[in-house]
Amino acid sequence: MGKVRVCILLVVALLLTGGTKGEAGLSRAPAPEELAAESAFLLDVETAKVLYEKNANQAMAPASTTKIMTALLLLENAELGEVVIVGEEVGKVRPNSSVAKIKPGDRLTVAELVYALLLPSGNDAAYTTAVFVGRRISGFEHLSIDEAVEVFVALMNKRAKELGAVNSSFVVPDGYDTPGHVSTARDLALIALAAVENDFIRQVAATPEYHWQGKRWGNTNRLLRQEYPNAYYPWATGLKTGYTGKAGHCLVATAKGGGRELIGVILKSKQKERWSDIRWLLEYGFTSWRQYTMFVQGRQIFTVPVIGIRGSPMVKIFAAENWSALLSLEQIDNLELEFKWRRGVISTKEKGLALKAPIRKGKVLGKAVISLEGKIMGEVDMVAAANVGLYYLWLPALGGFLLALLATAIIIRRRRPPVRAR
């Protein structure tokens, strides 16, 4: 039949996915120049599919979004209830840093230290973490502060490479502007993807504020806070802000809605535009991309007439399996189908497509091939839903059996001795 635009199947698929491109409120992909951010990236969590990118592999200062990795390594190397004693490492915090106001001698659980890292973005908490974990994995409890930090930073870089964040180079645990300390929007999304697999990080990142020993740690992520209407985003669930003079205003954000979860990254934006940038990005991901179902196992695709049998009955063709993909609305519009039949198919000007009898229920008659811009996206077997004209299969066999039976009877009769009169 050649390539066929999505026609009947499109109608079926739209019924399954519940919408068309004509819905109100759909957003378009922001043009690169429309974002204040110099770099941006949008990722679907379940499929790890890239939905948007702008300079996503450009090495840039990540500021305190670095602390996503710092928190992840803390939880990968310690239990929540363990006690951490703050030491002189907090003296390594540099001027104008964001801090949790912890001091030498303070005792925090690992869980509390994660709150100190992610909510007020404590650089003091970052160095406390680095020394605690660095000494633990080195096996030397009395390792110097600088040596422990060096061990921790090496672990940061090793873990980044394991996660596929190959364009990152970490030098400090807090993200303070330091020569050589860089990451990319894509790499930070991959690190965040690993972080959200940890339920406790999810819990902390979604917390508006936390109180510890008389201190209030407010979450710097305004997407979560309704008192900031120009920033608040109702589907937001986390994750981490960042700012330095070199890095500008940065944000790694997570959001859930409509059964999907997204990770958006904004690097080197402006103070106010950071929130509009990320909201536009997330809204685009939720409204202009959808899990599009074209075939459902056991659902009818179409009906086809059968020739070679009285009455030319119709046989229903079913999908033998599911086919679904996360696609943009533009991609959905451009999907193409090609039906490749195995055998028993004729096409005439008078009758169009028809199948030859007999047809057995469940028989694979061909494949529906789904393509996008010349690339095959998937193939689904097409099967007959019912038996049609099966007597054609057993009639020759029955005729042969009867002929054989008749021949046997004749032979027996000929061999039987004649009956003589007495």
Length of the chain (residues)? 422
Task: Give yes or no for residue 302 having a pLDDT over 90.
Answer: no
Contact assessment for residue 17 and residue 11, using Cβ atoms and an 8 Å cutoff: no
pLDDT in tens, 17-72: 333 333 334 467 888 889 999 999 999 999 999 999 999 999 999 999 999 999 99
Least confident of 65-79, 155-169, 394-408: 394-408
- 215-272 per-position pLDDT tens digit: 999 999 999 999 999 999 999 999 999 999 999 999 999 999 989 999 999 999 999 9
Region(s) of the chain under CATH 3.40.710.10 = 37-269
pLDDT of amino acid 399: 54
Q: How many CB atoms lie within 10 A of CB 101?
A: 15
Looking at domain 3-16+292-392, its CATH class is mainly beta
335 CB-near residues (< 8 Å, 6+ apart): 6, 10, 294, 327, 370, 371, 372, 377
Closest among 17, 4, 6, 7 to 296, alpha carbons compared: 17
What pLDDT, on a 0 to 100 scale, did the predictor assign at position 359?
82
At 416, which amino acid appears?
Answer: R
Residue type, 355: L
Q: Where are the beta strands (DSSP E) in 270-349?
A: 289-295, 300-307, 314-319, 323-328, 335-341, 345-348
The 10s digit of each residue's pLDDT in 400-415 is 555 666 666 666 666 6
What pTM, to 2 d.p., does this model score?
0.81
Q: Which residue is it, tokens 């006690």?
A: 83
Burial class (CB in 10 A: 0-12, 13-18, 19+), 63: buried
Average pLDDT, the chain: 87
Q: Render 135-196 in DSSP notation, one character per residue.
A: HHHHT-TT--HHHHHHHHHHHHHHHHHHTT-TT-B---SS----TT-BB-HHHHHHHHHHHT
**Which CA distances in Å does 33 have to 29, 30, 54, 81?**
11, 8, 10, 47
Which residues, in sequence order, are bridge partners of residue 53? 41
**DSSP element (H, E) containing 412:** helix 391-415
Closest by Cα among 333, 94, 83, 125 to 215: 125
pLDDT at 362: 87
User: Which regions of the chain carry the CATH code 2.60.410.10?
Assistant: 3-16+292-392
Summarize the confidence of residues 169-181 as an average pLDDT: 98
CATH superfamily for domain 37-269: DD-peptidase/beta-lactamase superfamily (3.40.710.10)
Phi/psi for 50 (5° steps) reads -80, 125
